[in-house]
């Protein structure tokens, strides 16, 4: 009778342990796939056009009158457009809606693809959540039998409890380390290639995460293959020209937030001009960066801005053939703040090479900091 009671207690104890394991595993699985579950896919196509019946004010303050023809290359799933005029000029980001543009076959086709993409995202959410639950249940089953075997085979209950406690401590240490990482969307990293002579160049990316959008289209096996000119003009195998390689994706990194800058939203443009110059970007590259990020940062009371180096390179590496002589990578991690935060400033001059020599590669991009992986799960 006593053995039966003990066995029941062991079973109840092991079931509780298994439920804990299942909850942890499901949470981690869902957190790892957070970006894949909630991201709004950015659709990349060939260049199309949009004409508006009202004036459009650009990020640089330029007012484009009604009837101006804009190039449209990116539309996200909410229907927002990224518009270009006069070369690389981002006219408006996150403010121009698809419905505001005059109807034309290209934009109607875009709208249909956006609707299809949204359905695809919903299916992905269900798929990832179902997979997380299945993995959690399998882990719970395995954990139950492991804990049961430990408790049932060890006659001394105190020793059995110590063994189980050690296992939990190991799992807790793993969880604590894991929660320092966070899932984030790397936004608009662009890669410039400046060889000394016209050169065929191959670029491959290795991400701690996954690519969502690329332009020109990235081949998972061979990467990008382009002909690059000294002025940075890139030509793909079909003969189409680009100013840079573009990608967006979901990455998991461990950020370094020990140093950085707290910048007033209204001072963002001046700060970025100064900091990007320190980091080695040219005037054209700085203008492109500022025009992309300024609409997101200038509306905040303050922004905490840090430029990641080792942590970003650990999450995103580039393999370039032929090997470049100079590589400049700028990755901005930021988050808004309602109040001023006193922090130790970064030494930006030590991050990138001070001079460009030979074949030079430049990349810039960034992410908004959203907290730990587990925190981001419940956003």
Beta carbons of 335 and 368 less than 8 angstroms apart: yes
Using the predicted structure, report yes or no on whether residue 40 has a pLDDT greater than 50.
Answer: no
The average pLDDT across 204-209 equals 86
Of 112, 142, 170, the residue at which a domain comes to its end is: 112
Question: What does the H/E/C string look like for 262-313?
Answer: EEEHHHHHHHHHHHHHHCCCCHHHHHHHHHHHHHHHCCCCEEEEEEECHHHH
Residues 6+ apart with CB under 8 A from 33: 128, 132
Of 327, 333, 335, 337, nearest in space to 346 by CA: 333
pLDDT value at residue 105: 58
Using the predicted structure, report yes or no on whether residue 91 has a pLDDT greater than 50.
Answer: no
Domain span holding position 101: 43-112
Same domain membership, residue 337 and residue 360:
yes
Residue 49 C-beta-side C-alpha neighbours within 13 Å: 6
265 vs 10: which has the higher pLDDT: 265
Provide the phi-psi class of 61: left if phi over 0, else alpha when psi is between -120 and 50, else beta. left
- The number of distinct structural domains making up the chain is 3
Same domain membership, residue 134 and residue 64:
no
pLDDT digits (tens, 9 = 90+) for 43-52: 444 456 777 7
Same domain membership, residue 174 and residue 68:
no
Same domain membership, residue 108 and residue 157:
no
Using the predicted structure, report yes or no on whether residue 88 has a pLDDT greater than 60.
Answer: no
pLDDT value at residue 301: 92
Same domain membership, residue 213 and residue 164:
no
pLDDT value at residue 38: 38
- DSSP 8-class letter at 260: -
pLDDT value at residue 13: 74
Q: Give the pairing of strands 199-207 and 316-321.
A: antiparallel
Q: Picking from 38-42, 80-84, 136-140, which range would have the lowest pLDDT averaged per residue?
A: 38-42
Of 21, 139, 82, 115, nearest in space to 295 by CA: 82
The average pLDDT across 306-332 equals 91
Same domain membership, residue 236 and residue 101:
no
pLDDT value at residue 75: 55
Q: Of 119-123, 321-325, 367-371, where does the model show the most confidence? A: 321-325
pLDDT digits (tens, 9 = 90+) for 274-317: 999 999 999 989 988 888 888 888 888 999 999 988 888 888 99
Q: What's the pTM value of the predicted model, to 2 decimals?
A: 0.60
pLDDT bracket for residue 36 (50, 70, 90): very low
Same domain membership, residue 359 and residue 237:
yes
Distance CA 322, CA 231 (A): 17
Same domain membership, residue 316 and residue 208:
yes
324 vs 101: which has the higher pLDDT: 324
Site of tokens 């395995």: 142
Residue 290's CB: how many other CB atoms inside 10 A?
A: 22
Residue 217's CB: how many other CB atoms inside 10 A?
A: 10
Q: What is the CA radius of gyration of the chain?
A: 25
DSSP-based three-state secondary structure for 226:
strand
Beta carbons of 250 and 184 less than 8 angstroms apart: yes
* Mean confidence (pLDDT) of the chain: 76
Same domain membership, residue 368 and residue 251:
yes
Above pLDDT 90, what percent of the chain? 23
Q: Picking from 82-96, 116-130, 184-198, which range would have the lowest pLDDT averaged per residue?
A: 82-96
DSSP-based three-state secondary structure for 56:
strand
Of 178, 193, 216, the residue at which a domain comes to its end is: 178
Same domain membership, residue 188 and residue 155:
no
Residue 115's CB: how many other CB atoms inside 10 A?
A: 12
Sign of CA dihedral 12, 13, 19, 25: negative
pLDDT value at residue 319: 94
The average pLDDT across 114-118 equals 60
Same domain membership, residue 130 and residue 217:
no
Using the predicted structure, report yes or no on whether residue 192 has a pLDDT greater than 60.
Answer: yes
Q: Picking from 28-42, 184-198, 254-268, 278-292, which range would have the lowest pLDDT averaged per residue?
A: 28-42
Q: Picking from 152-156, 165-169, 235-239, which range would have the lowest pLDDT averaged per residue?
A: 152-156
Distance CA 206, CA 317 (A): 5
Using the predicted structure, report yes or no on whether residue 53 has a pLDDT greater than 80.
Answer: no
Same domain membership, residue 314 and residue 263:
yes
The average pLDDT across 167-175 equals 63
Question: What does the H/E/C string look like for 120-187?
Answer: HHHHHHHHHHHHHHHHHHHHHHHHHHHHHHHHHHCCCHHHHHHHHHHHHHHHHHHHHHHCCCEEEEEE
φ, ψ of residue 366 in degrees (nearest 5): -175, 175
pLDDT bracket for residue 3 (50, 70, 90): low
Distance CA 358, CA 204 (A): 20
pLDDT value at residue 92: 44
């Amino acid at each position: 009778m006593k053995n039966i009671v003990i066995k029941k207690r062991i079973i109840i104890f092991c079931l509780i342990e298994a439920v804990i394991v299942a909850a942890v595993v499901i949470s981690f699985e869902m957190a790892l796939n957070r970006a894949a579950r909630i991201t709004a896919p950015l659709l990349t196509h060939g260049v199309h056009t949009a004409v508006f019946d009202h004036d459009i004010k650009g990020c640089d303050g330029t007012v484009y009158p009604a009837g101006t023809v804009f190039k449209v290359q990116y539309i996200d799933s909410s229907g927002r457009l990224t518009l270009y005029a006069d070369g690389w000029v981002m006219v408006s980001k996150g403010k121009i809606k698809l419905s505001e543009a005059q109807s034309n076959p290209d934009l109607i086709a875009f709208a249909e693809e956006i609707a299809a993409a949204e359905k695809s995202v919903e299916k992905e959410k269900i798929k990832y959540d179902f997979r997380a639950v299945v993995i959690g249940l399998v882990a719970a089953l395995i954990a139950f039998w492991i804990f049961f075997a430990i408790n049932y085979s060890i006659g001394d209950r105190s020793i059995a409890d110590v063994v189980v406690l050690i296992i939990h401590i190991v799992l807790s240490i793993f969880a604590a380390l894991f929660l320092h990482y966070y899932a984030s969307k790397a936004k608009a990293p662009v890669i410039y290639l400046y060889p000394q002579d016209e050169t065929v160049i191959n670029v491959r990316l290795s991400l701690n995460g996954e690519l969502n959008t690329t332009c020109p289209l990235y081949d998972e096996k061979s990467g990008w293959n382009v002909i690059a000119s000294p002025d940075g003009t890139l030509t793909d195998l079909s003969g189409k020209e680009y100013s840079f390689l573009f990608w967006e994706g979901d990455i998991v990194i461990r950020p370094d937030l020990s140093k950085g800058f707290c910048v007033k939203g209204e001072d963002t443009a001046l700060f970025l001009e100064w900091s990007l110059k320190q980091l080695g970007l040219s005037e054209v590259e700085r203008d492109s960066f500022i025009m992309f990020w300024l609409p997101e940062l200038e509306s905040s009371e303050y922004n905490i801005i840090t430029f990641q180096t080792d942590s970003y390179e650990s999450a995103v590496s580039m393999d370039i053939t032929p090997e470049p002589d100079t590589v400049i990578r700028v990755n901005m991690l930021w988050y808004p703040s309602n109040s001023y935060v006193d922090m130790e400033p970064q030494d930006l001059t030590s991050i990138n090479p001070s001079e460009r020599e030979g074949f030079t590669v430049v990349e810039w991009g960034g992410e908004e900091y959203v907290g730990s992986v587990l925190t981001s799960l419940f956003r």
